[in-house]
Amino acid sequence: MKTKILTILRGTDDYISGQEICDRLGVSRTAVWKVINQLKEEGYVIEAVNNKGYRITEYPDILTQSELESAINIESANGEGTLAKKLVCRDIVDSTNNVARKLAEDMACHGTLVVAEQQTGGKGRRGRHWESPAGTGIWMTYVLRPDISPDRASMLTLVAALAVADGIKEQLHAAGCDCEFGIKWPNDIVLNGRKIVGILTEMSATPDSVNYVVVGIGINVNTTEFDDSIKATASSILVQTGLHIQRSRIIASVSRRFEEYYNIFIKTANLEGLIEQYNSALINAGREVRLISSDNGTEHEETGVAKGIDMNGELIVRLDDGTMKNVIAGEVSV
């Protein structure tokens, strides 16, 4: 009921009368009044004007079930067209990827989205740590059940990166900001050269079929303090743009884009339908890249100019000696 009332209120910039809410939901005036009071306690600023009704003038930056569901409903025509099909909101978890994996083992459906306010054991790739302080970032994981062969699954990281980049860009543009923002292949999203987003995809599979994939996404939204170990490389949307964007809006935008791009990806199980969009979001394109690979413990370094990705998500690089090289995600850092 709270979600329904919040969805009605956020669906219009105008006042809406208590009576209209009652009629639309078939509930009593007292029930509406109680929910309005609960919302005020949670930090929503709600104007109540005689003969006009209610209007929300300020939203708190919270990740409650009703805040997220109502933001997603508005963004995606009441739950159609979003990859956040079922929401699991938690306060503190070790890692949303771990929670999502457990839920997936218990048969959680495709499109289950786990969101937490804080992670105590946030994970990066190859056992690295991901800083996930309370209240200022988005730490979330989607459970996916794609009917594809396991060797295709790593491309979902690129599909997610494109969805996150476009979802955030949409919110930044709406707030009037046009900044240097994009994907650093394969899985980082950077703003003015600083890492804002990290993505960790994990899979459970048999040799020829995928059981489930979890796609974990960390976004520094309104974070202003960073651990010494990441101060030089990490930043947040707020620090880089001065804009305080509500986390629920970003989650709603990203979930809508992710649904759209996932459906394009799943038709061919490759990136054929998304290459152009991905390459236009790619900040490496046309720029010099350093390829560092290790061969039996010996490090090699090559330099070249990145051209873009191919339909398998590999980065095409023209090396300094003129030869073309396809670089596989996960093997080389750019």
Contact 138, 250 (CB under 8 A): yes
Give CA–CA dist 88/305, Å, rounded. Answer: 42
Please tell me whether residue 90 binds ligand BT5 under the rule CB under 6 A.
no
Contacts of 65 (CB under 8 A, 6+ apart): 3, 87, 89
Pairing label, strands 86-93, 112-119:
parallel
Residue type, 294: S
Binding footprint of ligand BT5, residue count (CB under 6 A): 25
Please tell me whether residue 230 binds ligand BT5 under the rule CB under 6 A.
yes
Task: Return the residue of 24, 29, 52, 128 that touches ligand BT5, per CB under 6 A.
Answer: 128
Please tell me whether residue 201 binds ligand BT5 under the rule CB under 6 A.
no
Please tell me whether residue 143 binds ligand BT5 under the rule CB under 6 A.
no
Please tell me whether residue 97 binds ligand BT5 under the rule CB under 6 A.
yes
Pairing label, strands 288-295, 112-119:
unpaired
95 is in an annotated binding site: yes
**Most distant CA pair in the chain: distance in Å?**
76
Task: Return the residue of 7, 64, 96, 279 that touches ligand BT5, per CB under 6 A.
Answer: 96
Task: Return the residue of 124, 150, 273, 308 that touches ligand BT5, per CB under 6 A.
Answer: 124
Please tell me whether residue 200 binds ligand BT5 under the rule CB under 6 A.
yes
96 is in an annotated binding site: yes
Q: Could you tell me which of 156, 216, 147, 148 has the C-alpha nearest to residue 186? A: 156
Q: Could you tell me which of 73, 53, 76, 56 has the C-alpha nearest to residue 3? A: 73
Query: Which residue is nearest to ligand BT5, using beta carbons?
Result: 198
If the CB atoms of residues 55 and 90 are measured against ligand BT5, the closer one turns out to be 90
Binding site residues, ligand BT5, CB under 6 A: 95-97, 119, 122-125, 128, 130-132, 139-141, 195, 198-200, 216-218, 220, 230, 234
Binding-site residues for biotin, in ranges, read 95-97, 119, 195
